Amino acid sequence: MIKVLGIGDNVCDKYLNTRTIYPGGNALNVAVFAKMMGAEAAYLGTFGDDEVGAHVYAVAKELGLDLSHCRFEHGVNGCARVQLVEGDRVFLEGNHGGISRKKPPVLTRLDEEYIAEYDLVHTSIHSFMEAELPVMGKAGRFVSMDFSNRYDEAYLRRCCPHIDCGEISCGDMEEAEIRRTMEQMIDFGCRHMVIATRGSKGSMVLADGKLYEQSPCLVKAKDTMGAGDSFIACFLVHYLDGIKDAVDFGEGSGDCGTVTADRYQDLLVRVSLYRAAVFSAGQCQRDGSFGFGKVVDLTEEDLSVMNHSK
């Protein structure tokens, strides 16, 4: 199984209606989900020294992630405020990344050597790591970045040359626009593939010029938090773990079954998409991104945000 490193954002998702915080954040989620699937996983990011930061760190450590290159700063950890509406998450005003926005990791030579040990390095638009993308792109074997739905063309131009895979959240975006954006990201320098998640409409992958579509595995969702992250993690873990075996069979091998690397890759993308759809559906059956909720007291700011959302 491959080795996976998440770099960048960690947060707690604070569910105001239940006064419960759940660990999360795109970069941390991908590392955690990879660990759940049996991969060796690690996280590199900045933790605040408040109650939220302590809880996220304790859970990540309990789950067995390597946290040896993390930073610890005085200040509030990233925290997103959430309400659940019929099982779907609705984000309210949060603290915009907390201390990790002010003090994201500046990667050192030792960090570069550490990054080079991993098969997959994943970061996100929420990680405030744009200045370090050239370092990640040079040191990482396969670099993935989630752009969510908050990107613009200038941002894509800046980031895509340093990554192997980009992910976008498309929601109700028209299919033709999704395809244009995916192709645009490749034109801007994304080296290998683009993944578009579409919620209940499924997903699309553009891999080495070939477009794939995958239907969702629809379930009655308890909580959709982290569904897209779990899809991305599952797809990339299985794809990268499998693609290293791709070879063209030698002359005289015959043509029974799969005998070319291209055909194997095609099958691998399809199977990885299927597994990701099933895995992400399962994540929608649990609270938070991956559980580990903790009841906390709401602050005056929490109550103000809650009241203004009504």
Phi-psi region of 89 (alpha: psi -120 to 50; beta: other; left: phi over 0): beta
Whether the CB-CB separation of 9 and 126 falls below 8 Å is answered with yes
Beta-strand pair 78-85/88-91 = antiparallel
Contact 39, 2 (CB under 8 A): yes
Q: Are 151 and 36 in contact (CB under 8 A)?
A: no
Question: What's the topology of domain 3-300?
Answer: UDP-N-acetylmuramoyl-L-alanine:D-glutamate ligase (3.40.1190)
115's tokens: 């990054």
Q: Structural domain boundaries of the chain?
A: 3-300
Paired sense of beta strands 193-197 and 40-48, if any: unpaired
Q: What is the pLDDT along the chain (310 residues), one digit of tens a residue?
A: 899 999 999 999 999 989 999 999 999 999 999 999 999 999 999 999 999 999 999 999 999 999 999 999 999 999 999 887 766 668 888 899 999 999 999 999 999 999 999 999 999 999 999 999 999 999 999 999 999 999 999 999 999 999 999 999 998 899 999 999 999 999 999 999 999 999 999 999 999 999 999 999 999 888 889 999 999 999 999 999 999 999 999 999 998 999 999 999 999 999 999 999 999 999 999 999 999 999 999 888 887 887 777 6
Torsion of CA 71, 73, 76, 78, to 10 degrees: -20
- Residue 87 has a pLDDT of 61
The pTM of the full predicted model, rounded to 2 decimals, is 0.95
